[in-house]
Amino acid sequence: MARGRIRARIRRSHLYTFACLRPSTVEGDEPHPIQGPGYSRRVHCNASHMHKKQPLKYSSNYISTTRYNVITFLPKAFFEQFRRVANIYFLVAAICSLFEFSPFSPTSMIAPLAFVLGVSMAKEAVEDWRRFIQDLKVNARKVSVHKGGGVFGRKQWRKIRVGDVVKVEKDKFFPADLLLLSSGYEDGLCYVETMNLDGETNLKVKRSLEVTLPLDSDESFKDFAGVIRCEDPNPSLYTFVGNLEYDRQIYPLDPSQILLRDSKLRNTAYIYGVVVFAGQDSKVMQNSTKSPSKRSSVEKKMDRIIYVLLATLLAVSIISSMGFFIQTKYQMPDWWYLEPQSPQSCYDPAQAATSGFCHFVTALMLYGYLIPISLYVSIEVVKFLQAIFINQDINMYDEESGTPAQARTSNLNEELGQVDTILSDKTGTLTCNQMDFLKCSIAGTAFGVRSSEVEIAAAKQMAIDPAEQESVASSRLGASEIGLERVVTLADEQGPKPSIKGFSFEDSRLMGGNWMRESNADMILLFLRILAVCHAAIPEVNEETGDITYEAESPDEIAFLVAAREFGFEFVRRTQSSVFVRERYPSSGNPVEREYKILNLLDFTSKRKRMSVIVRDEHGQIMLMCKGADSIIFERLAKNGRTYEESTTRHLNEYGEAGLRTLALAYKPLDDAEYTAWNNEFVKAKTSIGVNREAMLEKVSDVMERELILVGATAVEDKLQKGVPQCIDKLAQAGLKIWVLTGDKMETAINIGFACSLLRQGMKQICISAMNSDANPDVKKAVKEDISMQITNASQMIKLEKDPHAAFALIIDGKSLTYALEDDMKHQFLRLAVDCASVICCRVSPKQKALVTRLVKEGTGKTTLAIGDGANDVGMIQEADIGVGISGVEGMQAVMASDFAIAQFRFLERLLVVHGHWCYKRITNMICYFFYKNIAFGLTFFYFEAVTGFSGQSIYDDWDMILFNVFVTSIPGHLARRV
């Protein structure tokens, strides 16, 4: 395969040391103990025919997300319809109409019921048909599958079986859960985008076993055979236990070799893999739980009204039948002229009790217009049309992404007009999840004069003029230099927006090579080189335009590389062990391409909160470059490396208050002897086998990442979505309470709150934070008591507030929330939160989001709406009464779990106010109309019968009158009467 051999191969074994690199599998490696319950799966590689019969007959790759199929549609749909009390009544009435004592013909009772059930079931069928069409499209996708003899052919996804060897090409989705055998890179590495699984846009790195690396062409699979023994299907996305029996050896498998269905291959020409889990057994399908059945409060209220009407109907029928019983037994013998020509039990004085029962059934049917069967038709029609209006609303169409609003279910439309509390995610929902390099601090000097959107929006909301804003900023900073940067002027607001994605920096001191004129030009040079070299990104060159774009595990890294390019240090390519940077200097006309040899790369993890790269430049100098969280970097600085610590700390605090994401940059020069001694220890730890390998690597790496010299700090901005402050402001004016659940730190969340109009000038803030705690139970008890005391004091402060117009905002961090959500404190916390106009929860986990949503929903008993854009918001969306998913860049997990989908947060206002209020008002008006009309109509006829003794059978003997009654109590009849 020429394409497989003529390509730029990157041997990343020198780079990834923590998450991705593991020691070579040798004969001494111990396989996993695969035995016992839960570990019974056996997969014969390249022999899918062995999985067509028991006991190895596994699930096919066909998937279905529909609620019904051809066989189950009728029983399931009927079950759903007859959960409604009114439908059960009309079914009983239709059955009774088959008997001779019925006042109606069977047609007149069965036809309206069949019409109502038909309309409701047709709506269910249409919605399920759409899901079926989506499944068809997915199942019809094609991928290359090994047919035998080293020949691959295209096959539909639904025909793939466990054991098949498949070839997936760049930018294609994996059709099933695969064991990675080899890739377009000669060391078996590939990049995977898991956006559809966990909502993360950053790329993951997977690596195959070294023993399967030679399987890098179609012909190499001609005689390939092996057996995989592994765990049974389960929903855990991040674990996998198994062994590969290949070439008379057993090799242990782990999650780094597993490619999950619905993730995408990126930055890799192709991969070969063998299917381990297919179809419903795949991990993504194991995680796809059915959405919970949600019923609107209007529907619940309508059920209560139906119960009232049924009780009234029973009372009227019982009274009427009692009267008929008395008349039949005591008066009918004297009414010789009413004697029936043929004996009938319904009119036989000798069987008065039976006659009374017959009349009771007859009365239930006669007064049946008390139960508004056409009300269900009217409401179903309104909901169905309302869903169409939402989907076709041009004012809710996002032109940038080409995404319209989508009502994924029409059962909750009217709930939108009853929302009391909105619980929202921040990143990707209130903000765009687009990182822009905005400011930086180098050698104690702040650069960047553009104000962040958070600062601009906060200044607007606080209604401070530019002069006052400068005064406030200066007092906050204590330095006129930074204070001048904080000035929000009309020119800043109305100035031209940057056309470079990821770069919003403005400062003439650094742009255009002017940095060389600064007094600390050597530190600036080092700062820019760290930006261009210290990363794990991959450049992609557009063959037509020659432009370079970057793919990285973090959007911050992309912003750093774009900034370095604009400053004159462009990262252009990466080889097996080197990074090439094209550097431009004003003194020389042509750019200079420099090579930095990558000796080691200590990757970023959530535990380390930093990454480092050890490089050797063209002059032979070895240097460690490091970037990470300021708290981590500052504690590792050398005594002579703290020259700029005070000023940099001041700048970092300012950037955090402006809602920016910050990182500190540092370096450390190394001599050859020092590096060689350390590298020997590092290689020894890297090649060790055992459970302590990661700990040994961390310990050795920590030794190197000490005695650093501080260079500066960066600040990137996650921009607000358009119209977010105005939308939140209008929703707050309408009386809706808004909670923001975010993973950001408290300072950033507070400034985002001001920018989003969630916090306003004059609003009193209540901040609840937990002191540091450890595993000591006594310390945890003290922390819990402290949080309880903070909540109690805050509640008391609100009660003692004398100003009736005073507004409070509650800000609580994740640690405090852990204790506040416990059973003995959660109601106390909820009472405090309900008394506040705004609530911001910081540093919260996905589980805490769902728990908070459940607490608000169950504790207040009012309608809640949750809105989010990522997989970490699914629990919150499903827990709320109404879930809204943002169709953004964080995958489709939130959208698939939601009841409604929109493209921008600002569309929420129109969804709630315009559509929700109209639908709620319309349906409640219909219910009230039906309720009062039917009560009055029924009591009138009951009074008429009681006075005249006339049963009204002759009036209702014709079924046309029944259909007429259905018509006049429906929407067309209502409109006709108004006309």
Whether 253 contacts 231, CB under 8 Å: no
Residue 917 CB coordination number (10 Å): 15
* Cα pseudo-dihedral 221, 224, 225, 228, rounded to 10: -60
- The number of angstroms, rounded, from the C-alpha of 304 to the middle of its chain's C-alpha atoms is 35
| CA dihedral (932, 934, 937, 940) positive or negative | negative
Six-digit token string for 292: 């919970």
Six-digit token string for 769: 């934070």
Whether 794 contacts 832, CB under 8 Å: yes
How far apart are the C-alpha atoms of 672 and 683, rounded to whole Å? 16
How far apart are the C-alpha atoms of 294 and 882, rounded to whole Å? 8
Q: In one letter, which amino acid is 937?
A: F
How far apart are the C-alpha atoms of 937 and 483, rounded to whole Å? 75
Six-digit token string for 413: 């439309």
| Exposed/middle/buried for residue 214 (C-beta within 10 Å: 0-12, 13-18, 19+) | exposed
* Cα pseudo-dihedral 339, 343, 349, 355, rounded to 10: -110
How far apart are the C-alpha atoms of 640 and 399, rounded to whole Å? 54
Asked, as a colleague might, if the bond just before 333 is cis with ω within 30 of 0, I would say no
How far apart are the C-alpha atoms of 705 and 707, rounded to whole Å? 7
Exactly one of 216, 262, 281, 425 is catalytic; name it.
Answer: 425
Six-digit token string for 233: 């299907």
For 878-896, b/e burial (b = at least 16 CB within 10 A) is bbbbbbbbbbbbbbbbbbb
Active site residue 813: no
Vertex 95 angle, CA 90 and 97, to 5°: 90
Whether 65 contacts 134, CB under 8 Å: yes
Six-digit token string for 260: 């999950």
For 301-310, b/e burial (b = at least 16 CB within 10 A) is ebeebbeebb
Q: Where are the alpha helices (DSSP H) in 56-105?
A: 73-81, 85-96
Whether 171 contacts 177, CB under 8 Å: no
| Exposed/middle/buried for residue 115 (C-beta within 10 Å: 0-12, 13-18, 19+) | middle
- Report residue 37: phi and psi, to 5°: -60, 140
Q: Closest Cα to residue 405, out of 920, 870, 917, 911?
A: 911
Six-digit token string for 792: 């109690």
Q: For tokens 């990470």, what's the residue?
A: 628
Give the single-character DSSP code of 911: I
Q: Are strands 764-768 and 538-541 parallel, antiparallel or unpaired?
A: unpaired
Helix/strand/coil for 193: strand
Q: Which residues contact 52 (CB under 8 A, 6 or more apart)?
A: 161
Whether 842 contacts 742, CB under 8 Å: yes
Asked, as a colleague might, if the bond just before 55 is cis with ω within 30 of 0, I would say yes
Six-digit token string for 629: 């969280």
- Report residue 172: phi and psi, to 5°: -105, 155
How far apart are the C-alpha atoms of 297 and 300, rounded to whole Å? 5
Terminal CA-CA length for the chain: 76
Q: Which residues contact 465 (CB under 8 A, 6 or more apart)?
A: none
How far apart are the C-alpha atoms of 765 and 770, rounded to whole Å? 16
Q: Which residues are catalytic?
A: 425
